[in-house]
């Protein structure tokens, strides 16, 4: 084939793909129809396109899109441990008024305790810190070093820690509702569950049978979550070591899609309530109530149903082992394992609704984390009023952040006009929030045309990042540098599932964009503001800016 022919073929094939993407009948001439090579290429395109209908295809290939290295169970273990750590951290933080995005000095101490495997002020064991301690030490060493020269390090450390958690979580590649809401064709629905036996017969090997079976289970669970609008239940989170319970939390939750919830948390005789009305996140304790405008979804990821589905999805081996009764319901029990790991985990799935009811993660050092519904009702009617909360007049109310007018931001940061004029028109401004005790000073929320479309802009009036993530992409823009990363999971513990993060650090300020849209797209805002294009560089080159890499270790 000469060069011209190759070019022609490339164009034909590209047009063919465009037509399929636009659901148009491809324009195929007789010459093209007679060309066997082209016909096979067309069929290859169609074959790839059929993959989009797989329930977890988005997830499988999101890794490729985000250019992330494949993570194995090592990452998973870390998130499991991180989840426990986070629970413990949250619990201890409760007493010290530490809330997400805040730091009051105890974290550093606690982190050392974590790594030293000792107890914190509340007597809670810290053994579960496990693998994360090593990572935290790396972070702390760096942060402490930074503290010597810059007393602003504390909030940075918090941001870094949040980042770290998010990045650890990333190994799960969890995309919660977006995944669950992905359109799945009706024909596959018919195929999967009821015909599971049939599918097994159709396959030629035991392996394939298991594969199909597990695909069916995952599909059914995903579909079940897709059809779920709300749930009311009681969840128990239990951490054990050598059979001894070292942490037990009970959560009575009423959840309504997409992000409203009312949850009463109880542990060690302490009770507090967390409410999200979709806009504000309230934490109601006996002596005070905190109100957070920034990200009402936070906290939900700890126990949310879709989290369990996601964890199960990542398994390399799944085996049905029997039936059990959980929360008064018949449940199918599955054993699952991750490649290269000796630990066997278990998931109990409601035989009727396909909603996971219990998840048991087995970790190193004979540790076990169990997350179980002890009572649950799917799609129970919930009055929206329960998600509203008005603090009493004499209530000690702390606003972790304030809703402010744009003019207030403008006064502090005149450059906002340049930002606003470069935000795509499809995004509508929702609110501005003045943040407290964190690296960033303001947050601007924008919503796109679709419900899922969002763009959050964090503004720091001074540059705050003196570290970079090796796994992200980096570039130079104007006098500053940018960091782009797609597929960040549970970013800052505030964005459930996967989001895309673009950061621009320049001598005068720092901007951070979090969106469901690719950071490679949102970073165009930076380019328009700078009236320059990003020049991509190897990450290591950032060391020349005096920046240090942050590692997220694997396989420990």
Give me the residues that bind another protein (CB under 8 A), please: 6, 9-11, 13-14, 17-21, 23-26, 28, 32-36, 39-41, 43-54, 57, 60-61, 64-65, 67, 185-188, 190-191, 195, 198-199, 202-203, 208, 211-212, 215, 518, 520-521, 536
Q: What is the DSSP letter of 70?
A: P
Q: What is the DSSP letter of 495?
A: S
Given the complex with another protein, which of 190 and 479 has the nearer CB atom? Answer: 190
Given the complex with another protein, which of 45 and 404 has the nearer CB atom? Answer: 45
Given the complex with another protein, which of 45 and 374 has the nearer CB atom? Answer: 45
Q: How far is the CB of 31 from another protein (least distance, A)?
A: 10
Given the complex with another protein, which of 401 and 499 has the nearer CB atom? Answer: 499
Given the complex with another protein, which of 59 and 159 has the nearer CB atom? Answer: 59
Q: How far is the CB of 42 from another protein (least distance, A)?
A: 8
Tell me the C-alpha distance between 220 and 212, whole Å.
12
Q: How far, in Å, are 175, 280, 325, 404 from residue 442 at the CA level? A: 26, 16, 49, 9
Residue 55: other Cβ atoms inside 10 A: 25
Q: How far is the CB of 178 from another protein (least distance, A)?
A: 13
Task: Starting at the earlier edge strand, list the strands of the sheet with 367-378.
Answer: 317-326, 329-337, 345-350, 356-363, 367-378, 230-241, 244-256, 260-267, 270-277, 281-284, 289-292, 397-399
Q: Which residues pair with 392 in a beta bridge?
A: none
Q: How far is the CB of 208 from another protein (least distance, A)?
A: 7
Q: How far is the CB of 457 from another protein (least distance, A)?
A: 20
183 burial level (CB within 10 Å; 0-12, 13-18, 19+): exposed
Given the complex with another protein, which of 58 and 412 has the nearer CB atom? Answer: 58
Q: What is the DSSP letter of 174?
A: -
| 288 torsion bin: left (phi>0), alpha (psi -120 to 50), beta (else) | beta
Q: How far is the CB of 175 from another protein (least distance, A)?
A: 14
DSSP per-residue string spanning 331-398: EEEEEEE-TT----EEEEEETTT--EEEEEEEETTTEEEEEEEEEEEET----GGGG-----TTS-EE
354 burial level (CB within 10 Å; 0-12, 13-18, 19+): buried
State yes or no: cis peptide before 20, omega within 30 of 0: no
Given the complex with another protein, which of 280 and 474 has the nearer CB atom? Answer: 474
Q: How far apart are the first and last CA of the chain?
A: 51
Given the complex with another protein, which of 130 and 475 has the nearer CB atom? Answer: 475
Q: How far is the CB of 244 from another protein (least distance, A)?
A: 43
What is the residue whose two structure tokens read 């700890």?
302
Hey, CA dihedral for 110, 498, 58, 62, is it positive or negative?
negative
Given the complex with another protein, which of 50 and 470 has the nearer CB atom? Answer: 50
Q: How far is the CB of 447 from another protein (least distance, A)?
A: 22
Q: How far is the CB of 190 from another protein (least distance, A)?
A: 8
């Amino acid at each position: 084939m000469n060069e011209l022919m190759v070019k022609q073929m490339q164009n034909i094939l590209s047009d063919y793909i465009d037509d399929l993407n636009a659901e148009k009948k491809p324009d195929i001439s007789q010459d093209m129809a007679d060309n066997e090579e082209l016909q096979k290429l067309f069929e290859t395109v169609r074959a790839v396109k059929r993959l989009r209908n797989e329930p977890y295809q988005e997830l499988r290939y999101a890794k490729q899109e985000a250019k992330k290295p494949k993570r194995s169970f090592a990452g998973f273990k870390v998130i499991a441990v991180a989840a426990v750590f986070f629970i413990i951290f949250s619990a201890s933080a409760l007493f010290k008024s530490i809330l997400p995005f805040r730091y009051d000095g105890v974290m550093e101490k606690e982190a050392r305790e974590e790594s030293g495997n000792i107890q914190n002020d509340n007597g809670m064991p810290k053994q579960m810190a496990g693998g994360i301690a090593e990572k935290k030490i790396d972070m702390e060493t760096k942060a402490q070093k930074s503290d010597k020269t810059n007393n602003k390090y504390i909030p940075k450390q918090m941001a870094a820690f949040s980042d770290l958690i998010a990045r650890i979580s990333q190994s799960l590649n969890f995309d919660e509702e977006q995944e669950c809401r992905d359109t799945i064709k009706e024909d596959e629905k018919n195929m999967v569950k009821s015909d599971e036996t049939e599918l097994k017969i159709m396959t030629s090997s035991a392996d394939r049978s298991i594969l199909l079976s597990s695909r069916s289970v995952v599909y059914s669970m995903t579909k079940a979550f897709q059809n779920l609008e709300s749930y009311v239940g009681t969840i128990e989170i239990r951490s054990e070591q050598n059979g001894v319970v070292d942490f037990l939390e009970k959560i009575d939750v009423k959840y309504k899609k997409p992000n409203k919830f009312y949850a009463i948390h109880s542990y060690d005789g302490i009770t507090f309530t967390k409410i999200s009305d979709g806009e504000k996140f309230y934490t109601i304790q006996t002596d005070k109530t905190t109100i957070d405008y920034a990200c009402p979804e936070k906290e939900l990821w700890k126990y949310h149903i879709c989290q369990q589905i996601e964890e199960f999805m990542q398994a390399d081996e799944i085996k049905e082992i029997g039936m059990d009764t959980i929360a008064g319901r018949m449940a199918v029990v599955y054993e699952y394992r991750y490649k290269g790991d000796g630990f066997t985990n278990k998931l109990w799935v409601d035989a009727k609704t396909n909603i996971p009811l219990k998840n048991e993660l087995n970790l190193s050092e004979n540790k076990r984390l169990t997350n179980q519904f002890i009572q649950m009702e799917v799609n129970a009617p919930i009055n929206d009023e329960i998600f509203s909360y008005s603090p009493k007049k004499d209530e000690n109310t702390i606003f972790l952040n304030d809703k402010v007018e744009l003019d207030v931001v403008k006064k502090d940061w005149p450059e906002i006009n340049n930002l606003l004029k470069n935000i795509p028109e499809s995004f509508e401004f929702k609110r501005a929030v003045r943040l407290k005790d964190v690296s960033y000073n303001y947050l601007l929320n924008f919503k796109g045309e679709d419900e899922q479309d969002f763009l959050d802009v964090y503004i720091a009036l001074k540059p705050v990042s003196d570290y970079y993530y090796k796994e992200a992409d980096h570039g130079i823009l104007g006098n500053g540098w940018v960091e782009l990363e797609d597929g960040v999971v549970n970013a800052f513990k505030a964005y459930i599932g996967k989001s895309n993060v673009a950061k621009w650090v320049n001598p005068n300020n720092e901007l951070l964009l979090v969106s469901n849209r690719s950071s490679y797209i949102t970073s165009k805002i930076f380019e328009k503001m700078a009236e320059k294009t990003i020049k991509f560089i190897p990450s290591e080159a950032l060391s020349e800016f005096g920046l240090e890499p942050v590692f997220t270790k694997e396989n420990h």
